[in-house]
Structure 1
Amino acid sequence: MFEIVVLLVLVAAIVLVTSRWRISPFLALLGAALIGAFAFGLPTSEIVTTISDAFGGTLGNIGLVILFGTIIGVVLERSGAAIVMAEAIIKVVGERFPTLTMSLIGYVVSIPVFCDSGYVILNSLRKAVSLRTGASLVATAIALMTGLYATHTLVPPTPGPLAAASNLGIEDSVGVIIAYGLPVALVSALVALLFANAFLRRDVPLEPAGEDDVDEATDYAALRASYGRLPGTFAAFGPILLPLVLICVGSVANLPSAPLGEGTVLTVLDFAGTPVIALAVGMLASVGLLRGRGGRTAFNELVESAIRVAAPILLVTAAGAGFGAVLAASSLTDFLSENLATLGLGIAVPFLLAAALKTAQGSSTVAMVTSSALVAPLLGSLGLGTTQGTVLAVLAIGAGAMVVSHANDSYFWVVSRMSRIPVGTAYRTLTVATGIQGLAAFGAVAALSAVVL
């Protein structure tokens, strides 16, 4: 019982210092690892080695993948490729279904681009679509927000799922996570879309418009023009589709039946499908989006910007791995394994942990890193010790990391402020929507677990 008390105190301390006192999650997790090591009675000669080995190993396993994925996202954002992808989806779906259009745009764009950045980029487009179709601005805000959120927490190469995969030891199975994560994210987005449609023709009072909100169509035209010459549709989608296809093909090639061949073919596909190589190919493809924008100089500047974005995520991920290594080395693992196995909660445990952490401290990434570190030693006792089970644990954690977005989440404020939604209304719409979509995602994961486990 002492071990449980220590764990609860450590988790509560992480939440408190990161949400209330605004201490860096990196320092909070590292401090929790050190304090926990002493509290659990680990030999002092092994404490530093346990934490540093996990810290360095995680950076080695996942560092380049997160960095390359971040570079792709930054290039798509700064080159206007995200706008091109959005317009391509509008051409296919049309403006007849404005909420569906915005949900699908968010679903695609947020695979490489952070949901916060995605909303900032696409907000003018959202307002323009609302203006042209007569749809409620609140409905399109919910649809875009939840579409972005769905893939942000469930589909690599966004950092959260990658960090969880690394902590759970399946960074080589990213292709399987993508293959399962895409339909789970789609279910999540579509269920949230139904909620958004409840406001489609409803007149919801918004905060007074500023000067920037007088003519949404003009705003979008100005935004589009600010990028200069936009890339072509194929070029815009290339940096996303190339790595996703390579990773998935590599995963298929490695199936026991070798459906794509053996020998040299298998070696080539396996190498190209390695996440770090696949994302490096996507990064190189993104260079072509910068033609006429300063070329090499512009790309170097974007790489430096991406490094600044990725560095805190990498450090938080590695610190979370150190915390997880301390938990795994302690007697807590045996205690929880013996007791959780009798409860039969299975796939619900990673979901509930992530949901509790997300709701308490606000950051989806921190929730995924911390909960995956906590769950890693327990996979066997939860019946999730196989590769398939661990993949489902990653997705359950991603589903929990949506529940719920409220005042302690920066994304909540990005969406509500840019959409002019009053705080009270935002709680009744945006917060409820993220809760619904998180539960829907977990429902899809639970259904998958019943089939594949």
Structure 2
Amino acid sequence: MDPAPIEPAYSAGILLAIAGVAVLLLLFLIIRLKMHAFVALILVSVLTAIATQIPLTDVAFVTTYFFGKTLGTVALLVGLGAMIGRLLEVTGGAQVLADTLINKFGEKRAPLALGIAALLFGFPIFFDAGLVVFLPIIFSVAKRFGGSVLIYALPAAGAFAAMHAIVPPHPGPVTAADLLGASIGLTLLIGTPVAVLAWYVGSYLFTRYYGGKIYVPIDDSMLTGRKADEPGVGGGTGTATETRTEAPPTFGLVLTILLLPLVLIGINTILTTLVLAGTIGESAVVDALVFIGQTPIALLITLLVATYTLGTRGRSLADTEVILNDALAPICAIILITGAGGMFGGVLRHSGIGTALSDSLADLGLPLIVSAFVIATILRVAQGSATVALTTTAGLLSTAAAGADLSSVDLVCLVLAIAAGATVLSHVNDSGFWLVSRFFGMDVKTTLRTWTVMETTLGLSIFVLALALWYATP
């Protein structure tokens, strides 16, 4: 149980002013002083605790408590998801997925096939890692069929962006769901079709009717000259290229591994709902199915299946262990930043700022879901990081959500609205902006005309779907 909030030391207006200054200070430290987001979040959390008169003897406990609480949920899911993604990468699963879909869909639908492959592969892997893995696939298809590289690049990049923003086990939606009290399993089940529909409208159709018409020549220089032992390029132990030449996995096996956690978590959610409704009674079988469908257990089962069906193909268990160990290093910074974001949100709640914000939003008359989108958008535009925008907005709105008597579906809609705001208007302060710009050989102006506009249409598509679901459910 969270530590009880303190009695507010100031009026609602002063508390909101402190919250505003805290957010502005956070943005100033990250944007202008280039302070690492992890350090900036910790510093601002401590200063906010002091400013709101949380007793000095309690500051360390409160901040570390909320940091640990967030990590307890996020680190396990993100770590398991990263390991699954790494195994699919180094065994050639991504290449098999793309090749099979392109052969099934045909030349004219190659962009659609690449996007679907990226959606599937984007379930366990982060945006930047997925994009790097897919670079040789995108360039290979572009050279094969010709035209602007954006025809093939934007649907794939947009798919990774959609999955990263909405679908657990990615850290942003996991943390937002945890802070708002939403079911992570239900967030996954609802978020997945929302991500697919939003991607189709905001990324695929956008590329087909606008983005793909902007000609950008194929420039794969980012892949040329890389060292042979660099990840995802070729050579060295455990690289994707090396493994693809040694009995790559079948499409059916790759698809099974990607869908396994969705099936297990879906069974958990359905059975839990039926038990709560009294439709079925509890039994040993039901309890067992609910257990294996809990998100951490489902991902653990998926990782074990992937390890002993993919990881041991043509390599020893010791080599597989090295692959899994290497998967954890790149995600450490993201996990720590996410934990620090949860710390900041926890301090805001504990100090009474969350209650003050809730009351102020009620006075403005904005629906909670609209407030979620607007706040997340402001944070996204100001500081660039979608993860920071997600975690900070969820922390700010957690008190309002708790007091609004929302259904489990409404809470998921709130997570989706925050994710939508955290997706729009990617620009020069977003690392993803520069990744896309450099990888596909675009200048800043072209990237703004294509990637920034696509991220905005994607985010707006997510928000429209979340809004429709919010008002469609009783």
TM surpasses 0.5: yes
Residue type matched to 2:377 in 1? A
State the SS of the aligned residue for 1:402: coil
Map 1:202-351; keep pairs closer than 5 Å: 202=213, 204-206=215-217, 210=221, 225-227=241-243, 228-229=245-246, 230-255=248-273, 256-257=276-277, 262-287=282-307, 288-342=309-363, 343-351=365-373
Q: What is the identity percentage for the equivalent residue pairs of Structure 1 and Structure 2?
A: 31
- Matched with 1:216 is none
Residue 186 to residue 376, structure 1, CA distance change in 2 (3 Å): same
Q: Does 1:6 align with 2:24?
A: no
Residue 278 to residue 4, structure 1, CA distance change in 2 (3 Å): same
State how far apart, in whole Å, the 2-side matches of 1:373 and 1:25 are: 16
Give 5+ residue unaligned stretches, structure 2: 1-12, 225-231
Q: What are the Cα deviations for residues 358-409 of structure 1, in whole angstroms up to 9, with x where unaligned?
A: 222222222212221222122145x463322221111112112211222222
Are the equivalent residues in 1 in contact too, given 2:90–2:240 (CA < 8 A)?
Answer: no
Q: What are the Cα deviations for residues 41-75 of structure 1, in whole angstroms up to 9, with x where unaligned?
A: 22223222222222222222332222111111122
Q: Does 1:391 align with 2:412?
A: yes
Q: Does 1:184 align with 2:194?
A: yes
Q: Does 1:124 align with 2:136?
A: yes
Are the equivalent residues in 2 in contact too, given 1:106–1:144 (CA < 8 A)?
Answer: yes
State how far apart, in whole Å, the 2-side matches of 1:184 and 1:16 are: 34
State how far apart, in whole Å, the 2-side matches of 1:263 and 1:42 are: 47
Judge which range, 427-436 or 250-259, deviates more. 250-259
State how far apart, in whole Å, the 2-side matches of 1:224 and 1:37 are: 47
Residue 254 to residue 434, structure 1, CA distance change in 2 (3 Å): same
Deviation at 1:20, TM superposition (A): 3.2
Deviation at 1:292, TM superposition (A): 3.9
Count how many residue pairs are aligned between Structure 1 and Structure 2: 446
State how far apart, in whole Å, the 1-side matches of 2:222 and 2:361 are: 56
State how far apart, in whole Å, the 1-side matches of 2:86 and 2:28 are: 31
Question: CA RMSD, aligned part only?
Answer: 2.6
Deviation at 1:333, TM superposition (A): 2.7
Are the equivalent residues in 1 in contact too, given 2:42–2:340 (CA < 8 A)?
Answer: yes
Residue 445 to residue 88, structure 1, CA distance change in 2 (3 Å): same
State the SS of the aligned residue for 1:379: helix
- Matched with 2:181 is 169
Give 5+ residue unaligned stretches, structure 1: 214-218
Q: Match for 2:28 among 16, 30, 43?
A: 16
Residue 46 to residue 159, structure 1, CA distance change in 2 (3 Å): same
State the SS of the aligned residue for 2:368: coil
Are the equivalent residues in 2 in contact too, given 1:248–1:273 (CA < 8 A)?
Answer: yes
Deviation at 1:428, TM superposition (A): 0.4
Residue 206 to residue 360, structure 1, CA distance change in 2 (3 Å): farther
Deviation at 1:220, TM superposition (A): 10
Are the equivalent residues in 1 in contact too, given 2:178–2:184 (CA < 8 A)?
Answer: no
- Matched with 2:376 is 354
TM-score by length of 1: 0.91
Q: Does 1:193 align with 2:204?
A: yes
State how far apart, in whole Å, the 1-side matches of 2:119 and 2:207 are: 15
Q: Does 1:41 align with 2:53?
A: yes
State how far apart, in whole Å, the 2-side matches of 1:106 and 1:70 are: 15
Residue type matched to 1:419 in 2? F
Q: Does 1:416 align with 2:437?
A: yes
Residue 129 to residue 307, structure 1, CA distance change in 2 (3 Å): closer
State how far apart, in whole Å, the 2-side matches of 1:20 and 1:303 are: 36
Q: What are the Cα deviations for residues 115-146 of structure 1, in whole angstroms up to 9, with x where unaligned?
A: 11211111222223233333421222222211
- Matched with 1:54 is 66
Residue 205 to residue 60, structure 1, CA distance change in 2 (3 Å): closer
Judge which range, 266-275 or 288-297, deviates more. 288-297
Residue 366 to residue 335, structure 1, CA distance change in 2 (3 Å): closer
Deviation at 1:240, TM superposition (A): 2.1
Q: Does 1:441 align with 2:462?
A: yes
State how far apart, in whole Å, the 1-side matches of 2:151 and 2:299 are: 34
Deviation at 1:257, TM superposition (A): 3.7
Deviation at 1:80, TM superposition (A): 1.5
State how far apart, in whole Å, the 1-side matches of 2:184 and 2:135 are: 30
State how far apart, in whole Å, the 2-side matches of 1:211 and 1:40 are: 49
Are the equivalent residues in 2 in contact too, given 1:84–1:233 (CA < 8 A)?
Answer: yes
- Matched with 1:371 is 393
